[in-house]
Structure 1
Amino acid sequence: MRLVVGYLATPSGEDGLALGAQLARSLGAQLDICMVLPPDRTVPARVPAETGFDDILASRAQRWLNEAKSSVPSDIDVDVHLSFHESFAQGILDEVTRLDAHAIVVGAAGDGLLGRHSVGSVSTELLHSAHVPLCLAPRGHRHSSAKKIREVTCALGTRVGADVLLRTAVRTSKRMETPLRLVSLVELDPHHHLRDHRDTSESVRERAVAHAQSTLDEAKSALPEDFPVSVMIADGSSVESAVRKLDWQDGDLVMVGSSRLAQPRRLFLGSTAAKMLRVLPVPMVVVPKQEFPNSE
């Protein structure tokens, strides 16, 4: 198994690298640190004519990559890769294909709140085009003291694709040997557009409990009898308030599915996941709506 970290020599890049190391150690995976540079368009006047600007930029980038590699703990297999492409996101996707990687890891944009997610242009492009799971590190994750993933939380809905997410979460928890927590988020806003006019807060919650129980039963059937799996209902006036009611600890990881509008084997962040992302203090993994060939 290989994990690609889309790396920049910035605090955001360090956040993604820290998450990549936690995931690699937990999964027994190799870490591939990838940096993508834009191809040379205009050469600065101070660069000697006989010296290629690409060469100078590549040399500096290679130093950054070597420094990043040296910061990864010695118990993790790691390699570095440098490529040129007009689009950082597409360059990373090309590396995923070339390396036959299983997931992409990136840090939050630099303007987010500490301990929160901020989706920048690169993350947005990857969310619309990646064919493998995308792991998003919140801002400041480089300060995490967790060596491995402590618990996997799977946020399940009732729409098509939840079965793929569940199988991916179960497979991930088994490989990491971590507890699995199944969560059903219940938005109790009386004006929510998905609610029937006859609904009450209690009827909505009852349906959520029934759904959570069925997903728990399905998850248990795929796990050893003694595998630690729990189920929880989180309700609130909004998705954000429901998420805030959940207990989060350093080393936790959330897995969500792609929007039903996403193309097959592609990502797209749905409205519920986007709302979760605003308040989550832990990393989020977005899973494609259909499984991909190298998912094992």
Structure 2
Amino acid sequence: MRLIVGYLATPSGDDGLTLAVRLARTLEARIDLCIVLPTDRLLPDLVTVGGYEQILFQRAQKWLDDAAATVPEDIEVDTHISFNESFAEGLIQQAARLEADAIVVGAAHDGLMGRYTIGSVTSDLLYSAPVPLALAPRGTRYSKVDRVREVTCALGRRKGADLLLETAVRASAAAGTPLRLVSLVALDPMYGSLRGDNESVHERAIRHANETLNSAKDGLPEGFPVEATIVDGPTVEAAVNKLDWHDGDIIMVGSSRLGAPRRLFLGSTAAKMLRVLEVPMVVVPREQFSDQDLP
């Protein structure tokens, strides 16, 4: 198993690497540290293209070597440098070339506000990555947890939920931890405006959530350790905040139905969850990345 880490020598880059180490140890995976450098951009007048790119390459290799040196000896790590106008596109090309199983990035833009303040690279990946995307919130680099503690899977009944559940089951089995299935019931203004009074809307939502969780549990291997729960609230954020979270937990969500096949598209529910979550999120495409997608 291979994990691509989109790396920069920034706090956000260190957050992503810390999460990648945790996932690699849990899943017995190797890490591919990748930096994507820009091409022909803001060249100094007295430096040739080749010379400028060589300077960038050497600096990037130093960053990668320093980062790789921090990876524990029990985890295999390699480094890669490529040139592309888009950091996100460069990572996706590397994921295809290396047949990676997931991309890991530090999700938070290096600013002051919020655990998840999505930067441009992460935003591009959230709407285009062909493999699961693991997002490390700000501050992950300070965590001392070296393995995944628990896998939470936020389920809906839309197309792609089966693949999300399969991916969560594999991750939970590899981690050796129980799987927590969660269905969120959020009666926000958009949802609450459906026909009927608020109480009947709430009852229908709870019934739908129960059906979703029961269907998911029925499809799990016999004896698989699983916990199913429903949380509700006036908003998605309020519902998510009712769940207990611990350092080392991850949450897995599915890509929106609006996304193209084998491509991510962050849905509105997952986007709202990011506002309040303090644990890593893994976004799973609706369909698998297949050989026909390789360059």
TM-score clears 0.5 = yes
The equivalences for 1:270-289 within 5 A come to 270-289=267-286
2:178 is aligned to: 179
Instruction: Give the TM-score normalised by the residue count of structure 1.
Output: 0.92
Q: Give the residue type in structure 2 aligned to 1:40.
A: D
Q: Give the residue type in structure 1 aligned to 2:60.
A: A
Any idea what the Cα deviations from partners look like across 1:103-123, whole Å, max 9, x if unmatched?
A: 000112123635x21221111
1:4 is aligned to: 4
Runs of 4 or more above 6 Å deviation: none
Compared CA separation, residues 66 and 210, structure 1 to 2 (3 A): same
- Distance across 2 between alignment mates of 1:51 and 1:214: 58
1:101 is aligned to: 100
2:249 is aligned to: 252
- Distance across 2 between alignment mates of 1:84 and 1:207: 48
2:118 is aligned to: 119
- Distance across 2 between alignment mates of 1:194 and 1:268: 25
Q: What root-mean-square deviation, in Å, do the aligned CA atoms of Structure 1 and Structure 2 show?
A: 1.9
- Distance across 2 between alignment mates of 1:50 and 1:155: 48
1:210 is aligned to: 211
- Distance across 1 between alignment mates of 2:289 and 2:174: 18
Pairwise CA distance, 1:286: 0.5
Compared CA separation, residues 217 and 194, structure 1 to 2 (3 A): farther
- Distance across 2 between alignment mates of 1:13 and 1:269: 21
- Distance across 1 between alignment mates of 2:153 and 2:59: 40
Deviates more, 1:26-35 or 1:185-194: 185-194
Instruction: Report the secondary structure of 1:279's partner residue.
Output: coil
Q: Does the 8 Å CA contact 2:192/2:201 hold for their aligned counterparts?
A: no
Q: Does the 8 Å CA contact 1:154/1:183 hold for their aligned counterparts?
A: yes
Long gaps (5+) in structure 2: none
The equivalences for 1:1-296 within 5 A come to 1-45=1-45, 47=47, 52-108=51-107, 109-111=109-111, 113=113, 116-189=115-188, 192=191, 195-198=194-197, 199-219=200-220, 222=221, 224-225=222-223, 227-293=224-290
Long gaps (5+) in structure 1: none
Query: Equivalent pairs: percent with the same residue?
Result: 57
Q: Give the residue type in structure 1 aligned to 2:10.
A: T
Deviates more, 1:265-274 or 1:170-179: 170-179
Q: Does the 8 Å CA contact 1:112/1:139 hold for their aligned counterparts?
A: no
Instruction: Report the secondary structure of 1:247's partner residue.
Output: coil
**Between Structure 1 and Structure 2, how many residues are aligned?**
288
Q: Does the 8 Å CA contact 2:43/2:49 hold for their aligned counterparts?
A: no
- Distance across 1 between alignment mates of 2:207 and 2:172: 28
- Distance across 1 between alignment mates of 2:3 and 2:185: 33
